[in-house]
């Protein structure tokens, strides 16, 4: 497929972006990466090159710098874009909304403008289940109302979807798929590639992993008074490699369609925070201490996917379970106790 030009992966040094880059290359695609390194490291690209045996053209700048973005399009024959780049911490977004809106909306607008100038019309967007907001019903399917988001991060994803839908209506020959992720976890089976957040993790599973390896003293369980089976938040956890493979299925689909389509990527299963702690204990063979604390701003008690549209439209279905997710994540954390920072 490389003779068709390259896939531009924004945020390609990040957790989901780096795993997707690996799967794309192994599926025969050529990849070009842009990443600001705000919440990622160059080492992940070096690891992706090691896994694939392929040199990956990578550029490190903020996509708000439009001239640099234009230069990448001029240098490479870009055929399609997978747009991962964004700020993504729910709790942080509540306290710094302007930063989230300026970054997460501005980079999408810049991308669309530069794509239009260069005749590139295929766009896969990394959206989020947070666009659904408080559930009217569960599991979430793609017909569920969107936009009643509980935090600026989720709103930025929703506003991006609206931008892409409006742009699609004005440009009917363009092709958009909006992939609404649930909760990506896990790592590459090699243990060489995984999630390595900057600073204290904002997401549950890397926090658990850092407690297991001794970097943090205990897991902070944020809220134990939700209306759930054990009082803690319930989520649909999805192996990052399954998620990455979903992007390849979306690229194949987008070749055959026009317009704009939203699709959930999740497992349809759900696990509580305490269930995830227990699953990780099974993977690492030791007890993981935790403390119950107050709820975090912007969090919902329960959400999980109805992933049936992904199966019917993309031919995609998650095949890795929670035990796989925790085992792969623990392997990465053991092999990289301090993440990529030690390299």
Active-site positions? 153
- Residue 233 near residue 292 (C-beta atoms within 8 A): no
Three-class secondary structure of residue 279 per DSSP:
helix
């300026």: which residue's tokens?
A: 102
Q: Which of 236, 232, 227 is nearest to 305 (CA)?
A: 236
Question: How far is residue 202 CA from its own chain's centroid?
Answer: 14
Q: How many CA atoms lie within 13 A of 190 on its CB side?
A: 10
- What single-letter DSSP state applies at residue 89? -
Q: Which two tokens stand for residue 117?
A: 């100038």
What's the maximum distance between 2 C-alpha atoms anywhere in the chain?
A: 56
> 275-301 in b/e burial notation, b at 16+ Cβ within 10 A?
bbbbbbeebbeeebebeeeeeeebbbb
Q: Which two tokens stand for residue 44?
A: 């992940």
| Ramachandran assignment for 89, one of left (phi > 0), alpha (psi -120 to 50 degrees), beta (any other) | beta
Q: Which of 81, 271, 260, 124 is nearest to 183 (CA)?
A: 271
Q: What are phi and psi of 338, to 5 degrees?
A: -110, 25
């Amino acid at each position: 497929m490389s003779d068709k030009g390259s896939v531009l992966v924004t945020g390609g040094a990040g957790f989901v972006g780096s795993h997707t880059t690996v799967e794309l290359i192994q599926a025969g695609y050529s990849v070009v990466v842009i990443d600001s390194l705000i919440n990622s490291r160059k080492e992940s690209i070096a690891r992706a090159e090691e896994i694939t045996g392929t040199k990956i053209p990578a550029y490190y700048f903020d996509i708000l710098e439009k001239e640099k973005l234009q230069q990448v399009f001029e240098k490479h024959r870009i055929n399609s874009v997978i747009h991962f780049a964004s700020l993504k911490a729910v709790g942080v977004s509540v306290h710094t909304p302007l930063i989230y809106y300026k970054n997460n909306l501005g980079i999408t607008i810049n991308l669309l403008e530069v794509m239009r100038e260069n005749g590139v019309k295929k766009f896969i967007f990394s959206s989020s289940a947070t666009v659904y907001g408080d559930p009217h019903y569960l599991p979430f399917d793609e017909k569920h109302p969107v936009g009643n988001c509980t935090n600026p991060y989720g709103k930025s994803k929703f506003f991006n979807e609206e931008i892409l839908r409006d742009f699609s209506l004005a440009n009917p020959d363009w092709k958009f798929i909006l992939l609404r992720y649930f909760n990506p976890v896990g790592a590459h089976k090699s243990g060489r590639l995984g999630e390595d957040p900057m600073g204290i993790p904002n997401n549950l599973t890397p926090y658990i992993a850092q407690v297991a390896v001794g970097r943090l003293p205990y897991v902070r369980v944020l809220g134990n008074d939700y209306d759930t089976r054990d009082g803690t938040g319930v989520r649909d956890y999805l192996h990052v490699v399954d998620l990455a493979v979903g992007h390849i299925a979306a690229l194949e689909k987008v070749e055959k369609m026009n317009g704009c389509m939203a699709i959930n990527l999740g497992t349809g299963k759900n696990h509580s925070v305490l269930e995830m702690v227990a699953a990780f204990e099974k993977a690492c063979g030791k007890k993981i201490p935790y403390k119950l604390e107050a709820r975090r701003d912007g969090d919902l008690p329960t959400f999980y996917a109805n992933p049936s549209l992904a199966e019917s439209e993309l031919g995609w279905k998650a095949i890795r379970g929670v035990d796989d997710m925790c085992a792969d994540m623990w392997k990465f954390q053991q092999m990289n106790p301090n993440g990529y920072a030690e390299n």
